[in-house]
Structure 1
Amino acid sequence: ELFQVGQEVEVVVLDFNENEERISLGYKQLTPDPWLSVPQKYQPGTKVTGKVVSLTDFGAFIELEKGVEGLIHISDLTWSKKMVHPKKVLSVGQEVTVQVLEVNVENHRISLGLKQATPHPLELFAQKYNVGSRLKGRVTNLTDFGAFVLVDKDIEGLIHISDISWEKIKHPSEKLKVGQEVEVVLLNIDLEKQKVSLGLKQLEGDIWEDFFHRQKVGDVLKVKIARLVDFGIFVEIMPGIEGVVFNSELDENKIENPAEVFKVGEERLAKIIKMNPANRKISLSFRQAQADLQKKEFQKYLETQSDRLTLGDLLREQFKNLSSKDNSKKEGHHD
C-alpha cells in the first residue's frame, strides 16, 4: 500500500549489525511519533471523531489519526444491558464520534466509548416524564424485593415490594407475573445511581389519606388480628392499613400471656383512641371498645325497662280510676 518495486524512498537507519551484515531501516521514523502528543490531544472525557478500521467479537478499532488507534469495547457500544455484536452497530469505514475513556501511552492503548458520546437514555427519559406520571410497561423480572418493569426503550424501573400493593405481601408473584402489561406511577428518577422507582399501589390513591379523612377518634371498627408483639397486637383495619393495640388496652384485667387469649386472624371490635396522620399511625383499644359496647347494651336495657315501667304505671292509674268510679257508684246506691 505504501511502496512499489523500484521506488526511491527516504528512510532512517535504526540499527547496523556489522557481524550479520544487516541494516535496520525505518520509514515511519521520518515523522514524529504521534503517540508523543496523545496525552495532550486525547484526554479522558473529550469527544473525538475517528474511522472504524476493524470489527472483532470483543469490540471495534477506531483510527483517530495516522498511527493512533483506539478500541471501543463491546460493553461501551450501546446503553443496552444486553451485549450487541459490533457488526450490528458499526461498519468498517464508518466515521463515528466517540468519547475518550482511558489512555495508556506506554502500551499504546486508548479506550473509547461510543455510548458515552450520547446522552444516557435515563437523561432523555427524565426530560420526557415527570415524577407522578403514569406509564405503561411490561414486567421483565420478579425478585424477593420487587418487580422490574420495562417502561421505555432500554429503561427498566423497579417497583419495590412495598409499592406493589397496599396489602402486605410476601413476594411480588402474589400480584404480578413476568410478561404482564401493567400501568405504573413514576415515583423517582435517580440520575446519579441510574435508577427508576415505580409504584403500582399509588394508582389507587392514598388509602391512608382517605382513611384519616373518613374516620375519627372514638370510632369503633371491626379489625382482624395480624400479629402479636411484645408491646401489644397489630391489627388490620382494612387491606393496607394497620393499627396497634398496646398491652394496656387489651382488656380491663391484665393479661399475662396475650397469645392464649388472642389468635392471629381473629376478628374483634376496637376503638380508635389516637391517630397520627403525619406518621400514619393508629392506636386502638379492645378494652374501651368492649366498655362502650357494654354501656350501649346497658343503656338499651334501661330504655327498655323504662318503657315497661311507664306502661305499667299507666295501667295502674287506669285501674285506680276504675276502682274509684266503682266505689262512688256503690256509695250512691246505698244513699
Structure 2
Amino acid sequence: MMGGRSENPELWTFLESLHCGELLSGTVTAIERFGVFIALDDGPDHPVFPGVGFITVPELSWRHIEAASDVVQVGQRVSCEFLQFDTWNLEARLSLRATQPDPFRTFAGSIAVGQKLHGKVTKLVPFGVFVQVADGIEGLVHLRELTWTPVQTPSDVVPVGDDVTVVVTEIDRERGRLALSRRQASSERR
C-alpha cells in the first residue's frame, strides 16, 4: 500500500475533496496495457505513479478498443469525469467515455423494433453473426434468425463482410445490446 494520510497529506486531502461526476482536466503522462495515467492540472504529484489520475481501458471509449493508444497519446490534454478515490493506490479513478454521449443510446433513440436496417457482417460466432448497422454499433442475428430453414453454422449462410438487410427485434438500452433478424427481413418463407 502507498501509505495513508500521514505520509501523503496533500494528496489524500485533494482526493477526498473530489466528488463523483466532477470534471477534471489533465495531461496523459503514460500509457500502460491496463490503462492510462493522467497528471491532473489541479492536483499534487503522485509519490510513485506518473500521475494521480488513472483511466482503465474500458473507461476510455464506448467502442471496443484493442489498446489505449487507439484513443489517447502521451502529452494529450483530456477532460475526464471523476469516478472514485482509489485509497489503495492513492489515485483518482477517471472516465473519459463518461464525458461523451453513449453512441448506442443515441442510435437506439432513432430506431424502432420492426424497422429494417442495412449492415455488414463483422463476426461469425457459433450462435449467430454480428452485423454492424452504424458506426460503432453492432447487433446480433441469432442462428435461428438467419434463415427460415435451419442451419448448422452461420458460415453456411453468410461470410464476414457480407452486406445484409436485417429487422430490429429487440433493443436492450440497459446492456447496450441489439437483437436482429435476417429471416424476418426476407419474405421467402419456405
TM range (shorter): 0.7 to 0.9
Of 48, 54, 62, which aligns to 2:23?
A: 48
Preserved CA contact (<8 Å) 1:151 1:157: yes
| Structure with greater helix share of residues | 1
Which stretch of structure 1 is more off in the superposition, 81-90 or 148-157?
A: 81-90
Unaligned runs of 5+ in 1: 1-28, 208-238, 240-335
Q: CA deviation at 1:156?
A: 1.1
* Structure ID, larger Rg: 1
What does 1:90-109 align with in structure 2 at a 5 Å threshold?
90=73, 92=75, 94=77, 96-105=78-87, 107-109=89-91
Q: Identity, % of aligned pairs?
A: 27
2:84 pairs with 1:78: no
2:129 pairs with 1:147: yes
Of 50, 67, 70, which aligns to 2:44?
A: 67
SS in 2 for 1:128: coil
Where does residue 154 of structure 2 map in the other structure?
A: 172
Where does residue 48 of structure 2 map in the other structure?
A: none
Point out which structure has higher relative CO (alpha carbons under 8 A, 6+ apart): 2
Where does residue 305 of structure 1 map in the other structure?
A: none
Instruction: Show CA shifts across 1:46-92 (max 9, x none).
Output: 13121115132342414052316211233321122122443753452
Preserved CA contact (<8 Å) 1:148 1:158: yes
Aligned-partner residue type, residue 166 of structure 1: W
Preserved CA contact (<8 Å) 1:74 1:86: no
Given the superposition, is the C-alpha separation of residues 62 and 129 from structure 1 closer, same or farther in structure 2, using an over 3 Å criterion? farther
Where does residue 101 of structure 2 map in the other structure?
A: 119
Preserved CA contact (<8 Å) 1:137 1:150: yes
Moved over 3 A (4+): 84-88
Given the superposition, is the C-alpha separation of residues 106 and 170 from structure 1 closer, same or farther in structure 2, using an over 3 Å criterion? closer
Given the superposition, is the C-alpha separation of residues 53 and 59 from structure 1 closer, same or farther in structure 2, using an over 3 Å criterion? closer
SS in 1 for 2:170: strand
RMSD: 2.5
Q: 2-side partners of 1:87 and 1:146: how far apart?
A: 28
Normalising by the residue count of structure 1, what TM-score does the alignment of the two structures yield?
A: 0.47
Given the superposition, is the C-alpha separation of residues 126 and 80 from structure 1 closer, same or farther in structure 2, using an over 3 Å criterion? same
Q: 2-side partners of 1:118 and 1:180: how far apart?
A: 31
Q: 2-side partners of 1:76 and 1:106: how far apart?
A: 19
Where does residue 167 of structure 2 map in the other structure?
A: 185
